[in-house]
């Protein structure tokens, strides 16, 4: 634990002891630490220690041109970068009154759902690994790579797509892409059976995660929980449906809900979301060929681009929960202030600290991973 976060405890009772997990530990997600107070192998208190990845994104954005920031924002969340860039672009478009062409909106939905799939595959791998199920992790990473191949094909980059600019996307699809997308979706559908056999119906997994790190709906709402973690407590709230952006209002999809609010529910909600993402992508693949037109609205020279003064609040449903950009422009060529409301801040700090209380040491890693907090996004 870094000195500035350290609060000396004068004399802990002799039956309690402290355990540091992280910032470099296989049971922790990224550069991030947890300081546990234990009584036997039961956690009595937990303190989250973020900040190891603090790169000052929000401040950095104030020093960069509106266009330059598209290269910066995806780095805030490695597993799910698409939501970052699109949410930023949506905020700037609100300020500038930019009209995004319809084709670009569909392309964005495609990018978002593919990104959600990569994030969830990563998540399943990580969550399984905390229970020693490494095959599932290898599978998740390998299958994610197939999606990244598609990303490389249409955005030019495998992880950090940097595919969006305020006003649209940067390139149209390469030829034959939709066919390759559909065959990947077919493949993922076929793989789901394997994943179910290996992991989601796995006796060990089910019994290790049932009841672990449980919260009820009221707690979740008080703690600011959003996204799949909130839906695992029985509340079907999804920004895509309840405050639709892009063309989500033209798409058919269900919102998977579980009731228990424990680690198992969180895993299962995401598993079912993967199915819904595939369902959305099939609709996109069907509709996209019939939508023509440009993929970007005309933009001024990025070196001389003033965005009108004002404030905007753009929110999207990222793979981890509700993500929002509060952007303030003073009419200049750079943002005056950007505040990012990331889901991981709540899940990774206050929720995690609360859920750990009463858990056993070996369950802490599961709680961390099933909450799916992204440390760089906590720090941003």
With binding defined as CB under 8 A, does residue 171 bind another protein?
A: yes
Helix (H, G, I), strand (E, B) or coil at 62: helix
With binding defined as CB under 8 A, does residue 148 bind another protein?
A: no
Sheet-wide strand order for 310-318: 310-318, 321-329, 337-341
Task: Report whether the peptide linkage leading into residue 23 is cis, meaning its omega lies within 30 degrees of zero.
Answer: yes
**Nearer Cβ to another protein, position 37 or 296?**
296
With binding defined as CB under 8 A, does residue 216 bind another protein?
A: no
Residue 327 has phi, psi (to 5 degrees) of -115, 130
With binding defined as CB under 8 A, does residue 8 bind another protein?
A: no
Choosing from 45, 206, 221, 357, the residue that interacts with another protein (CB under 8 A) is 206
Q: How far is the CB of 105 from another protein (least distance, A)?
A: 18
Q: Are 329 and 335 in contact (CB under 8 A)?
A: yes
Q: Which residue's entry shows tokens 């056993």?
A: 360
Q: Per CB under 8 A, which of residues 336..355 are in contact with another protein?
A: none
Cβ-Cβ contacts under 8 Å for 116 (sequence gap 6 or more) = 80, 273, 274, 277, 318, 319
> Which range, of 32-40, 189-197, 311-319, 368-376, touches another protein by CB under 8 A?
189-197
With binding defined as CB under 8 A, does residue 5 bind another protein?
A: no
Q: Are 191 and 233 in contact (CB under 8 A)?
A: no
End-to-end CA distance of the chain: 19
Q: Are 334 and 65 in contact (CB under 8 A)?
A: yes
**Nearer Cβ to another protein, position 226 or 272?**
272
Choosing from 34, 90, 109, 264, the residue that interacts with another protein (CB under 8 A) is 264
Say what the alpha-carbon torsion angle 95, 101, 106, 111 is, to the nearest 10 degrees: -60
**Nearer Cβ to another protein, position 28 or 264?**
264
With binding defined as CB under 8 A, does residue 287 bind another protein?
A: no
> Which range, of 29-37, 107-115, 141-149, 347-355, touches another protein by CB under 8 A?
141-149
With binding defined as CB under 8 A, does residue 162 bind another protein?
A: yes
- Within 10 angstroms of residue 297's Cβ, the number of other Cβ atoms is 16
Choosing from 12, 13, 40, 156, the residue that interacts with another protein (CB under 8 A) is 156
Binding-site size for another protein (CB under 8 A) equals 46
Q: Are 37 and 45 in contact (CB under 8 A)?
A: yes
Q: Per CB under 8 A, which of residues 31..90 are in contact with another protein?
A: 64-65, 67-72, 75
Q: Which residue's entry shows tokens 């228990």?
A: 260
With binding defined as CB under 8 A, does residue 176 bind another protein?
A: no
**Nearer Cβ to another protein, position 144 or 315?**
144
Q: How far is the CB of 95 from another protein (least distance, A)?
A: 17
Q: How far is the CB of 17 from another protein (least distance, A)?
A: 35
With binding defined as CB under 8 A, does residue 259 bind another protein?
A: no
**Nearer Cβ to another protein, position 11 or 203?**
203
The Cα–Cα gap between 25 and 151 comes to: 30
The Cα–Cα gap between 58 and 70 comes to: 13
Which helix (H) or strand (E) covers residue 317, if one does? strand 310-318
Q: Give strand ranges (E) for 144-299.
A: 164-165, 168-169
With binding defined as CB under 8 A, does residue 366 bind another protein?
A: no
With binding defined as CB under 8 A, does residue 170 bind another protein?
A: yes
Q: Per CB under 8 A, which of residues 217..256 are in contact with another protein?
A: none
Q: Are 72 and 64 in contact (CB under 8 A)?
A: yes
The Cα–Cα gap between 274 and 272 comes to: 5
With binding defined as CB under 8 A, does residue 214 bind another protein?
A: no
With binding defined as CB under 8 A, does residue 302 bind another protein?
A: yes
Q: Which residues bind another protein (CB under 8 A)?
A: 64-65, 67-72, 75, 138-139, 142-143, 145, 149, 152-157, 160, 162, 170-171, 174, 192, 196-197, 200-201, 203, 206, 264, 268, 271, 275, 294, 296, 299-305
């Amino acid at each position: 634990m870094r000195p500035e976060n350290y609060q000396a405890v004068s004399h802990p009772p002799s039956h309690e002891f402290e355990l540091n997990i992280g910032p470099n530990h296989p049971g922790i997600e990224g550069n991030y630490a947890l300081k546990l107070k234990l009584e036997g192998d039961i956690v009595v208190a937990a303190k989250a220690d973020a900040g190891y990845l603090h790169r000052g994104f929000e401040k950095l954005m104030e020093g960069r041109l509106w266009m330059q920031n598209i290269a910066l924002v995806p780095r805030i969340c490695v597993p799910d970068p698409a939501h970052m860039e699109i949410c930023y672009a949506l905020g700037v478009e609100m300020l500038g009154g930019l009209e995004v062409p319809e084709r670009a909106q569909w392309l964005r939905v495609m990018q978002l759902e593919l990104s959600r799939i990569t994030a969830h595959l990563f998540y399943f791998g990580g969550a399984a690994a905390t229970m020693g199920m490494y095959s599932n992790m290898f599978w998740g990473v390998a299958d994610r790579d197939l999606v990244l191949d598609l990303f490389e094909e249409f955005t030019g980059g495998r992880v950090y797509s940097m595919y969006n600019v305020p006003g649209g996307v940067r390139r149209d699809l390469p030829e034959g892409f939709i066919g390759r997308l559909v065959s990947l979706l077919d493949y993922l559908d076929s793989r789901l059976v394997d994943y179910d056999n290996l992991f989601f119906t796995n006796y060990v997994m089910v019994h290790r995660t049932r009841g672990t790190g449980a919260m009820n709906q009221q707690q979740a709402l008080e703690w600011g929980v959003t996204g799949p973690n909130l839906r695992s407590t029985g509340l079907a709230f999804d920004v895509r449906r309840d405050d639709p952006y892009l063309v989500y209002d033209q798409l058919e999809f269900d919102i998977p809900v579980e009731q228990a609010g424990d680690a198992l529910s969180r895993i299962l909600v995401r598993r079912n979301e993967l199915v819904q993402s595939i369902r959305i992508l099939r609709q996109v693949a069907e509709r996209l060929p019939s939508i023509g037109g440009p993929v970007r609205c005309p933009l001024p020279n990025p070196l001389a681009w003033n965005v009108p003064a004002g404030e905007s609040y753009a929110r999207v449903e990222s793979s981890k929960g509700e993500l929002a950009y509060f952007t303030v422009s003073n009419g200049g060529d750079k943002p005056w202030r950007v505040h990012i409301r990331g889901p991981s801040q709540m899940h990774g700090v206050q929720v995690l600290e609360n859920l750990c209380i009463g858990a056993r040491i070996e369950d802490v890693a599961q709680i961390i991973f099933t909450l799916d907090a992204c440390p760089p996004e906590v720090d941003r």
